[in-house]
Structure 1
Amino acid sequence: MSHRGRRLAGTFTGTVVAALLVTGGVLAPPPRVGSGRDTGTEVAVGAYLHYGSPGVERMEEFSRWLGGTELRAGHTYLPGDTWSNIEGAPDSLRSWARWRNARADRLFVLNVPMLEHSEAGVPDARVAELIRSGARGEYDHHFRRLATRLVALGVPDTVVVLGWEMNGFDYTHRCRPAPESWKGYWRRIVAAMRAVEGQRFRFDFAPNRGGDAIAWTSCYPGDDVVDVIGMDTYDQAPGRTFDEQVAQPYGLQQQVDFAKAHGKRISYPEWGLFRNGDNPEYMRRMLAWIAEHKPLYHSITDYCPHGVWQCGQNPRSSGVFRESLSAPRGHGGPFRSGLGDYGLRPWDRR
């Protein structure tokens, strides 16, 4: 489910027209999703708002929109255009580190490409060569530099979503051209990053939902080098309905079952609306799934067409999301329920 260019552009729809979240009927809200500490089975709520420093700044506004609910999962991506960026060159990492360290119970979630030119349409034969080189250790130094930078910035406990959506067709770090070497390369990266003194990283294995280019189970590199079993899942095929998204091969249920069998927590680094437009039923069902299965964290992709806050084209789904995740009145901040303010983004208000 690659959305080309989203990492670098940090898509932002700040000129959206304000929409009142009004539906034609009474909708039963999904179970409320917790936002407590990273202990036991509590769930950290997050949102991808922008890859750089503006994403940090918008976290507070998004939290206000949710009536004060704390966003404990801060989620961003390293650009995969050059090795220097994969090594952690972006200055915005400092802003994310300051955000993480402002509260002890926060999670910093960082998607890390495994190869440069990550969205350049590199052909399979060349991808296989690059992955084999990685499995031989030729790129270890890049990941040691990244790990050293993260430790120096005070975020040694970063959740690293390494080589995400590896079961797909798009990214240069895709698994299908050389799955055995891909697993070996993942293991090399984890070993290189864990060798840096002071690190406490957790590594999140996060395929697309469904079979895609290759069964994601064929890319799993081993329990000793994976801490979390994630999944990127959007409201699109395969799976016309949420029930089909759950039951399909390599779908949501298989993720839960696989993680349980391997003794791992689950996560949803990316999720949101997509091919079916403003779909409040999907939003209710996905939030209910999260509430039931209690991932370590989840992070909605919040720009059009996927999102609920920076995107004004999904007002009914936005209402469901806000109702489910808003802090109860008197517990966590103000909750504006007046129709004149309900659903308005900060830049819509005067």
Structure 2
Amino acid sequence: MPGPRRRLASACIGTVTAGLLATGAALAAPEEDEPADSGIAMGAYLDYGPAGVARIRSLSYWLGGREIRVGHTYLPGDRWSNIEGSPDFLEDWAAWRLADPDRMFVLNVPMQERNEAGVADWQVSRLIRAGASGQFDRHFTKLAERLVELGVPDTVIVLGWEMNGTTYTHRCAPDPANWKVYWRRIVTAMRAVPGQEFRFDFNPNRGTDAIPWTRCYPGDDVVDIIGMDSYDQGPGRTFDDHITQPYGLQHQVDFAKAHGKPVSYPEWGLFRNGDNPEYIRRMLQWIEQQKPLYHTITDYCPHGVWQCKANPRSTRVFHELMAVRPGPIPTPVVPTPVVPTPVIPTPVVPTPVVPTPVVPTPEVPTPQVPTQPPVVVVPSPEVPAPTPTPTPSPVTPTPEPELPTPTPSPVAPTPVAPSPVQPVPLPSPVVPTPTAPPTPPAPPLNSEEWCLPLNFGEWLNQLVGNQSVCVKLDWRWPF
């Protein structure tokens, strides 16, 4: 409801208008971008649980105090117990709705369990026929009783939403005729609960999708609102295409008018075209023109403009058109909702300890530099003695020159330079005394005849005796 300040502004505008008309002046047409503040019930899907309830107040503050009249959530479609409205799921939403009689609670209700499990068409057909025969009526009766018990019997039930698509198990295309029968059974079962005041919203996707949504319409007596989910995606490249395409926005409005029903937009927002401020502007203008019963923007990434920081230009346009008191856009106080991922402990696998092989480092011997030069032993040639008794040869000591210390060759990658060593005089070489063979007798020293013994083997030597070959030489020994 409008506050005192808004009523005062309306009174002032009325006074100015009367004065202008009295003077014959004409009022200018309102700007197309004025805030959409015509009393249409507005909301946003912020989270399915208690967090969604808590964030409504923060969204209102971000919009300059705008009243958020619609609380919108979804029942989980995983199993029937949740579709029945498990005891602790709806309490926070019911409390929020009961705090103000002007508020509206919108609840999306699946028509089948395993609703997002990718069930094949032939299985969907069997489930539709089972529902049409009344096998699932009891689940919806329990849901209706639960809502009445919580004090929200006037809940808007968005039953089997986007039934013309391919995503959900409660889709219509596999068996449209029995799907309409099934819808009628659900509505009949819920309306049979005493105290109920439910309104049922028939809410397809915009466009043809898997089947024209008019083929799934179950009848005026079991439908209260004609809704439509419309995101910034195909079919259609522009917003004008969204309006004029078959089974698009204009078709929805015309169909609802023909059947005497109000329209709604339970889901709308950005999607395939990213940050698209023109889409936001045109959608809000369309909503202002058509005056739906309610609309709720889907506000999380990639669709949203408040909790999603990926669309700053669209955020600014939404704030300019929807804020009650335009001004600087305050920073949102609520972070983007994060769906908690179950923590699965990673098994700890012990890492086998592999011993590192010890490779022995080869020892490279350090070259030893001798402190003294080695003694060189020069043997003297063997000279046969003239008699069995060896005669020593005269030895003449020859002084050796001083030799420098030899440098050893390197045996390691890095050569080691030897330390300088002073040369030491060499001692005289020691010459061993030669020993002549016992037989035959050697010729006298410096003889010109040289004899060599012949060896024919042991047994032949015994027969022929010791023999030798003698040669005369015409040279002399130098000493």
TM-score normalised over the length of structure 2: 0.63
Distance 2:270 2:195 in 1: 39
CA contact (8 A) 1:29 1:284 kept: no
CA contact (8 A) 1:35 1:45 kept: no
For residues 143-183 of structure 1, the C-alpha deviation after alignment (integer angstroms, 9 at most, x for no partner) is 00000000000000000000000000110000000000000
CA contact (8 A) 1:235 1:273 kept: yes
For residues 301-330 of structure 1, the C-alpha deviation after alignment (integer angstroms, 9 at most, x for no partner) is 0000000010001111111111111114xx
2:170 is the alignment partner of 1:173: yes
SS of the aligned residue for 1:323 comes to helix
Q: Which residue of 1 aligns with 2:37?
A: 34
| Structure 2 letter corresponding to 1:345 | P
| Structure 2 letter corresponding to 1:311 | C
User: 1:35: how far off?
Assistant: 6.0
Please show how residues 207-286 of structure 1 align to structure 2 within 5 Å. 207-286=204-283
Equivalent of residue 308 in structure 1, options 283, 305, 308: 305
Percent identity, aligned pairs only, is 68
* Larger of the two Rg values belongs to structure: 2
Q: Which residue of 2 aligns with 1:119?
A: 116
SS of the aligned residue for 1:92 comes to coil
CA contact (8 A) 1:280 1:320 kept: yes
Q: Which residue of 2 aligns with 1:16?
A: none
Distance 1:274 1:29 in 2: 24
Q: Which residue of 2 aligns with 1:326?
A: 323
| Structure 2 letter corresponding to 1:313 | A
User: 1:344: how far off?
Assistant: 1.3
Distance 2:32 2:257 in 1: 28
> Which structure shows the higher helix fraction?
1
Q: Which residue of 1 aligns with 2:50?
A: 53
User: 1:139: how far off?
Assistant: 0.4
2:349 is the alignment partner of 1:346: no
Structure 1 pair 343–312 and aligned structure 2 pair: CA distance change class (3 A): farther
Distance 2:333 2:182 in 1: 44
Distance 1:178 1:85 in 2: 25
Distance 2:298 2:330 in 1: 17
| Structure 2 letter corresponding to 1:33 | A
User: 1:30: how far off?
Assistant: 2.9
Runs of 4+ in 1 over 4 A off after TM superposition: none
Distance 1:141 1:189 in 2: 9
Distance 1:303 1:257 in 2: 31
CA RMSD of aligned residues (A): 1.2
SS of the aligned residue for 1:260 comes to helix
| Structure 2 letter corresponding to 1:199 | Q
Alignment size in residue pairs = 305
CA contact (8 A) 2:38 2:288 kept: no
Distance 1:29 1:201 in 2: 35
Distance 1:261 1:326 in 2: 34
Please show how residues 134-213 of structure 1 align to structure 2 within 5 Å. 134-213=131-210
SS of the aligned residue for 1:58 comes to helix
For residues 174-216 of structure 1, the C-alpha deviation after alignment (integer angstroms, 9 at most, x for no partner) is 0000000000000000000000000000000000000000000
Unpaired runs of 5+ in structure 1? 1-27, 37-42, 329-334
CA contact (8 A) 1:31 1:287 kept: no
User: 1:284: how far off?
Assistant: 0.4
- Larger relative contact order (Cα-Cα within 8 Å, sequence gap ≥ 6): 1
| Structure 2 letter corresponding to 1:116 | E
Unpaired runs of 5+ in structure 2? 1-30, 336-479
| Structure 2 letter corresponding to 1:248 | Q
Distance 1:218 1:347 in 2: 42
Distance 1:220 1:198 in 2: 26
